[in-house]
Amino acid sequence: MAGMSWDEFKECCRIQANLDLEAWDVALVQPLKDISAWWDRQSIPTQRIIQGLGGISTTALAAMLAKIGKITAAEVAGTFSVLVIAVLAGIAFGTFMDVVGRCGIQKVEQLLG
């Protein structure tokens, strides 16, 4: 066997990407949808209490991080957004490398076998 053709490799990557996206859906998106549905079922007073506590805790966390890092609270928000973007980019790159790696291993196995 001469190995996997380019079209077979692309098809493998497409299938693997769909499997990985389905896994992300089960691990991340569906729980977020469940939390959203739970939130919608809560009464307005309950939602207001939770929102108030969330605002207080977020402000306290930002102030604590600013004090520890000796930076302003606005810099904490900017740093947090950069970290979120970096984490999302890392997840995207890791998923891409997983797809290419799994299909690349199949190609190498075919070439060696």
35-61 average pLDDT score = 90
Domain membership of residue 87 (yes or no) is yes
- pLDDT > 60? residue 2: no
Q: Is residue 25 part of a domain?
A: yes
Range of the domain at 103: 6-112
* Residue 45 resides in a domain: yes
User: Is-contact 73 62, C-beta < 8 A?
Assistant: yes
Is 3's pLDDT higher than 70? no
Q: Could you report the per-residue pLDDT of 30-45, keeping only the tens digit for each?
A: 999 999 999 999 999 9
Q: Based on the structure, what is the number of domains in the chain?
A: 1
Q: Would 13 be classed as within a structural domain?
A: yes
In a domain, 68, yes or no: yes
pLDDT, tens digit (0-9, with 9 covering 90-100), for 69-92: 777 767 777 888 888 999 999 999
In a domain, 1, yes or no: no
- Does the pTM surpass 0.75? The reply is no
Q: How confident is the model at residue 42, as a pLDDT? A: 93
